[in-house]
Amino acid sequence: MILRIIAILLLVGAMATAVPVGAKDSLAAGAKGSSLPEGFVVEDFLTGLKLCVTIAFAPDGRLFFLEKNSGKVRVVSNGKLRPEPWAVIPVDPVGERGLLGIAFDPDFEANGYVYFYHSIKRSQNNEVIRMREVNGMGTDVKIVLEITDHLHASNHNGGNIAFGPDGKLYISVGDGGGWPGRSHEDTTLLGKILRIDVRGELPVKYDKPADIFYAKGLRNSFDLAWNPANKALYATENGPIGRDEINKIVEGGNYGWPMEKGFSDKHRFNNPAWDFGPKSAAPTGITFYPNGGNFPKEYAGNMFVSDYNYGRLYRIKLSGEGLGRIEKGDFKVWLPERFADTVFADVTVGPDGALYLAGFSKIVRVRWGGEK
């Protein structure tokens, strides 16, 4: 499903031209006649983009976004899109491959380090690299981790990266397509969430792949986020046909792919916090709304998840032991299908307290416009 969407939108993206920030089209009535939650405003923040798949705010408030196929790292600063890219990283753009992940070093303001996950041009491999910002541009490329396992297809790359509360870098790696059993094998990095220390010698060295596993048994986890309430890691997971998941990721966990999909009462593997059921939604971005944001206080600590297949945004409340479960009444389609006339690859919270969503051709902002 995701590959088909990408193929269609490649044509749209090829014809698009970026519209400067400030030309904000209010979508307050919602697409397809659907209404938005009272008091919220949805607006186009930046349009005319070319396969924008990942967004992240730097500690200084600039918005960075990645163009999957061109390998361009673009920056919005002081409300304006910079005409020149921050960097251009050579990528293999076939299928779901390309420039996929970005993470800012916890000490970014001192060292200027930014990390990227990308598919290597003319190769079936992926890698994590580090660049350093000098005078507002990315330079000084260093390889951080080489993911050299043979990929059987152009999908299931994973590709999101994020620093955890422990200061280590976490990396989602898909099963590579074609041989899902590798998600359980300790001899390959495929189908895993990895954890590495980037403070030492680069590239990161390890004696055996399992040395850097954090969790395994995953098909294609799209995004990672830590819950400030319990410092736990959560991830979206794309199932085969249906059985998409939201997982609470624990160290040493095995999430069952391909032997089990979605909830299981066999208790052989870690069950998901949420099973989307038999219809594929392709959940992508995941983030937590912080305390002190400008949304009404009942939103503090809520999880927000975006999806590819429907262009929805979900509002979710966690419960149960260790906040490892989502009850049916706490999983809400918060913003409905195609509410912004696009599908989404990522979601994050901006320094202004708004939610920002990465659509293939535009970035959408959801802000509070009512009284608290």
Q: Which of 143, 10, 49, 155 is nearest to 89 (CA)?
A: 143
pLDDT digits (tens, 9 = 90+) for 15-74: 344 544 433 333 333 333 345 788 999 999 999 999 999 999 999 999 999 999 999 999
- Single-letter amino acid, residue 156: H
CA distances from 43 to 49, 95, 284, 354, 366 (A): 15, 29, 20, 11, 7
Average pLDDT of span 74-98: 93
Number of folded domains that form the chain:
1
pLDDT digits (tens, 9 = 90+) for 268-312: 999 999 999 999 999 999 999 999 999 999 999 999 999 999 999
Calpha distance 209→330 (Å, rounded) = 38
The alpha carbon of 157 is separated from its chain's Cα centroid by a whole number of angstroms, namely 12
- Single-letter amino acid, residue 174: G
Q: How many CB atoms lie within 10 A of CB 349?
A: 18
- Specify which residues 201 forms β-bridges with: none
Report strand pairing: 253-254 vs 213-216. parallel
| Domain around 88 | 2-368
Average pLDDT of every residue of the chain? 89
Calpha distance 368→372 (Å, rounded) = 9
Q: Does position 244 have pLDDT exceeding 90, yes or no? A: yes
pLDDT digits (tens, 9 = 90+) for 185-198: 999 999 999 999 99
Query: How confident is residue 97, by pLDDT bands cut at 50, 70 and 90?
Result: confident
Calpha distance 114→108 (Å, rounded) = 7
CATH code: domain of residue 215: 2.120.10.30
Report how far apart the first and last C-alpha atoms of the chain are (Å, whole number): 40
For 166, phi then psi, to 5°, come to: -85, 0
